[in-house]
Amino acid sequence: MASSPMAFIPGKAPREAPRDQRSDSPIDTPTDARLGIICGSGVVPYAIADAVVRRGRPVVLFALRGWADATAVQAYSHHWVWLGQFGRICRLAHQEGCREMVFVGGLVRPSIWQLRLDWRTLKEMPLIVRSFRGGDDHLLSGVGRLFEKGGFRVIGAHEAAPEITAPVGALGRFGPNAAVEDDISHGFALLAAASAFDVGQAAVIAGHRVLAIEAAEGTDAMLDRVAAMREARRIALAPGIGVLVKAPKRRQDRRFDLPSIGPDTVTRAARAGLAGIAVVAGATIVAEPQRLVEAADGAGLFVVGWPDPEKPA
Amino acid sequence: MASSPMAFIPGKAPREAPRDQRSDSPIDTPTDARLGIICGSGVVPYAIADAVVRRGRPVVLFALRGWADATAVQAYSHHWVWLGQFGRICRLAHQEGCREMVFVGGLVRPSIWQLRLDWRTLKEMPLIVRSFRGGDDHLLSGVGRLFEKGGFRVIGAHEAAPEITAPVGALGRFGPNAAVEDDISHGFALLAAASAFDVGQAAVIAGHRVLAIEAAEGTDAMLDRVAAMREARRIALAPGIGVLVKAPKRRQDRRFDLPSIGPDTVTRAARAGLAGIAVVAGATIVAEPQRLVEAADGAGLFVVGWPDPEKPA
């Protein structure tokens, strides 16, 4: 499972929105109004929809054609939309009484030419073109601004349902030992350094050595690469050494591109011969916590939530 | 082609050798004595051997079993050795009258258990074990110290034959345009930031976006990944956008792990849909310059040597 609350657009661009976009506190304002969820691929959108509904708040899904899971979407009130139909989404969301929107799920960064632009989107082209230059981070924050101009508040999935993020500490039966903790710190430091370049939400570290860094390929592909290198004996370390470290990019707009992990991440990490997974607590979505813990316990892997370095204790 | 003067051991460890190990000036001392070349995989060892011989200096090759090319090696006076036979290499090199040694060619980082240790190597185990902890950089500098303790001067391939490194400027018919120059600077800055973590000798940047960063997989695998992402439309950019940026790690011991490019690098970069390749002039080996230029000109790619940021102009 790749990163999740929409793997494409926040950023380093000048912010127009006045509020602190990184506020991590649960939102206690219009909880009666339906929450609009713009759904990319994967299971995370439904995990979040369920969590929000459990909190007593109704949802409406805007399922992106080509990305959202057609079967999963049917369990919720929903509309199918194309990427780029900003005007249509705004209109439908207003009709549904939404005042807040969440972006969630995988999405491969589209080419600007692949968008099905509607009229309203076209009017906003200068902002969109600007957003398309630069990293994913940059692109997603542009889209965020677009929706704010459209009259919505854009919130993070972790704000709509904080309980879906990783807590501090071990999630399953196993925890990291001291040697691995060293690699975890090393990995988080590397990701922090790389994130100034709008890249590097994940890396694999083993014995203080960086085996892989993620860029456009995504976490799954990176883990598969480590598995392949191990199989080809390009990595000569014994299995059971190494950790997958995932973190949101520093200073990024967490409303869009929070990392996520799920049972599949655990399975791939196990196949890559790793000892475990470390994520940033409160800033990483755990899509199917029970299945994830079962997978981790079964494979003998640890999954640990690390205190958020960007959040004062 | 991966990085070349031996892709494993320099570093951040305390230096015992008194001289400046990064001296880039050609060495004018014992040029009459045979130069010992410890050969890993690829064609670079022979390109360097040829260049050194052209300079009028005899060479003797120490071909690493399992890595060096058995056919290529026959054209030179040589000995076959196992990785880990430090004592045997020292003895043979002394017999051959070598006073300087060069490490060159690809080498997958071995597990310490895969080494065929001879007696002398065993005596040095504490240093070796220390060297095996940490990045490749660290490992190679440990091996360097070992040879210096054995009475040899370890020099860089670029010192033995400076003409085999990339010059400043375009190598073929094409040069980078202004937009690509931006990506090149961005890429070099990223590599500089990552190199503090003993990682990141190469990256692919396109339109200010980082598509891939290299860790243990090597440059070839990284380029193939970019090609695959483009094919799978995970990267939606038009072909002809993007640059491969390669740099030696900062402050690393350039005697061991200088990056190298060759015709094959150009072919893979072309397959990955890139506009060109940028390397650090004077600190990147160009193994087969003529074939490389032909490949670049044929594919419409630029290959450019960038002024070395670590070298005062």
Predicted local distance difference test score (pLDDT) of residue B9: 26
Closest CA to A268 of A287, A244, A294: A244
Q: Is A175 exposed, middle or buried (0-12, 13-18, 19+ CB in 10 A)?
A: middle
Predicted local distance difference test score (pLDDT) of residue A8: 38
What is the pTM assigned to this prediction? Answer: 0.77
Q: Is A8 helix (H, G, I), strand (E, B) or coil?
A: coil
Q: For A160-182, what is the mean pLDDT?
A: 92
Predicted local distance difference test score (pLDDT) of residue A5: 52
Residue to test with chain A: of B131, B217, B219, B241, most A Cβ within 10 A: B217
Residue A295 scores a pLDDT above 90: yes
Residue B29 scores a pLDDT above 60: no
Q: Quote the mean pLDDT of chain A.
A: 82
Predicted local distance difference test score (pLDDT) of residue A12: 29
Distance from CA of B155 to the nearest CA of A (A): 25
Among the partner-chain residues B210, B218, B237, the one whose CB lies closest to the CB of A215 is B210
Residue A12's identity, in one-letter code, is: K
Strand partners, A103: A38
Q: For A72-92, what is the mean pLDDT?
A: 90
Predicted local distance difference test score (pLDDT) of residue A145: 82
In angstroms, the CA A31 to CA B131 distance is: 58
More confident position, B9 or B167:
B167
Contact B193/A198, CB-based, under 8 Å? Answer: no
Q: Is A199 helix (H, G, I), strand (E, B) or coil?
A: coil
Predicted local distance difference test score (pLDDT) of residue A224: 96
Distance from CA of B164 to the nearest CA of A (A): 28
Q: Which residue has the tokens 């070395």?
A: B308
Residue A192's identity, in one-letter code, is: A
Predicted local distance difference test score (pLDDT) of residue B288: 86
Predicted local distance difference test score (pLDDT) of residue A238: 79
**Residue A260 vs residues A130, A207, A301, A306: alpha-carbon distances, Å:** 27, 25, 17, 14
Determine contact, residues B116/B169, Cβ cutoff 8 Å: no
Residue A96 scores a pLDDT above 80: yes
- Tell me the two tokens of residue B87: 């004592």
Contact A225/B221, CB-based, under 8 Å? Answer: yes
Determine contact, residues A222/A204, Cβ cutoff 8 Å: yes
Residues 6+ apart with CB under 8 A from A180: A243, A275, A276, A302
Among the partner-chain residues B211, B216, B236, the one whose CB lies closest to the CB of A229 is B216
Residue B24 scores a pLDDT above 60: no
Closest CA to A67 of A49, A44, A50, A33: A44
Among the partner-chain residues A108, A135, A189, the one whose CB lies closest to the CB of B209 is A135
- Spell out which residues of chain B touch residue A210, defining contact as CB-CB under 8 Å: 135, 197-200, 215-216
Half-sphere exposure (Cβ direction) of B164: Cα atoms closer than 13 Å: 31
- Spell out which residues of chain A touch residue B208, defining contact as CB-CB under 8 Å: 133-135
Distance from CA of A241 to the nearest CA of B (A): 13
Predicted local distance difference test score (pLDDT) of residue B31: 60
- Spell out which residues of chain A touch residue B203, defining contact as CB-CB under 8 Å: 215
Half-sphere exposure (Cβ direction) of A83: Cα atoms closer than 13 Å: 23
Predicted local distance difference test score (pLDDT) of residue A225: 96
In angstroms, the CA A153 to CA B29 distance is: 71
**Which residues of A sit within 8 Å Cβ distance of B?**
108-111, 114, 133-136, 186, 189-190, 193-194, 196-200, 203-204, 207-213, 215-218, 221, 225, 229, 233-238
Among the partner-chain residues A186, A197, A208, the one whose CB lies closest to the CB of B193 is A197
- Spell out which residues of chain A touch residue B196, defining contact as CB-CB under 8 Å: 193
Residue A256 scores a pLDDT above 80: no
- Spell out which residues of chain A touch residue B250, defining contact as CB-CB under 8 Å: none
Contact A209/B198, CB-based, under 8 Å? Answer: yes
Distance from CA of B95 to the nearest CA of A (A): 33
Task: Quote the percentage of chain B above a pLDDT of 70.
Answer: 77
In angstroms, the CA B289 to CA B262 distance is: 7
Tens digits of residue pLDDT in B256-312: 778 889 999 999 999 999 999 999 999 899 988 999 999 999 999 999 999 987 775
Predicted local distance difference test score (pLDDT) of residue A247: 93
Using the Cα atoms of residue A202, residue A204, residue A208 and residue A209 in order, give the sign of their dihedral: negative
Distance from CA of B186 to the nearest CA of A (A): 8
For residue A151, the tally of other CB atoms under 10 A from its CB is 11
Distance from CA of B213 to the nearest CA of A (A): 6
A1: confidence class by pLDDT, cuts 50, 70, 90: very low
**Which residues of B sit within 8 Å Cβ distance of A?**
108-111, 114, 133-136, 186, 189-190, 193-194, 196-200, 203-204, 207-213, 215-218, 221, 225, 229, 233-238
Query: ipTM score here?
Result: 0.73
Alpha helices in A232-302 (DSSP H): 263-271, 289-299
Q: Quote the mean pLDDT of chain B.
A: 82
Predicted local distance difference test score (pLDDT) of residue B82: 85
Contact A236/B108, CB-based, under 8 Å? Answer: yes
DSSP percent split of chain B into helix, strand, coil, nearest 5 = 35, 20, 45
Determine contact, residues A104/A39, Cβ cutoff 8 Å: yes
Q: Which residue of B has its CA nearest to A228?
A: B217
Pairing of strands B202-206, B209-213: antiparallel
Contact A236/B109, CB-based, under 8 Å? Answer: yes
- Spell out which residues of chain B touch residue A213, defining contact as CB-CB under 8 Å: 194, 199-200, 213, 215
In angstroms, the CA B301 to CA B304 distance is: 10
Closest CA to A120 of A94, A101, A154, A153: A94
Contact A236/B193, CB-based, under 8 Å? Answer: no
Task: Quote the percentage of chain A above a pLDDT of 70.
Answer: 77
In angstroms, the CA A237 to CA A179 distance is: 14
Q: For A239-246, what is the mean pLDDT?
A: 92
Among the ranges given (A14-18, A51-55, A121-125, B48-52), the one the predictor scored with the smallest mean pLDDT: A14-18
B140: confidence class by pLDDT, cuts 50, 70, 90: low
Among the partner-chain residues A135, A136, A190, the one whose CB lies closest to the CB of B197 is A190
Contact A217/B215, CB-based, under 8 Å? Answer: no
Predicted local distance difference test score (pLDDT) of residue A109: 58
- Report how many Cβ contacts below 8 Å link chain A to chain B: 111
In angstroms, the CA A250 to CA A308 distance is: 11
Contact A236/B210, CB-based, under 8 Å? Answer: no
Radius of gyration, CA atoms only, chain A = 19
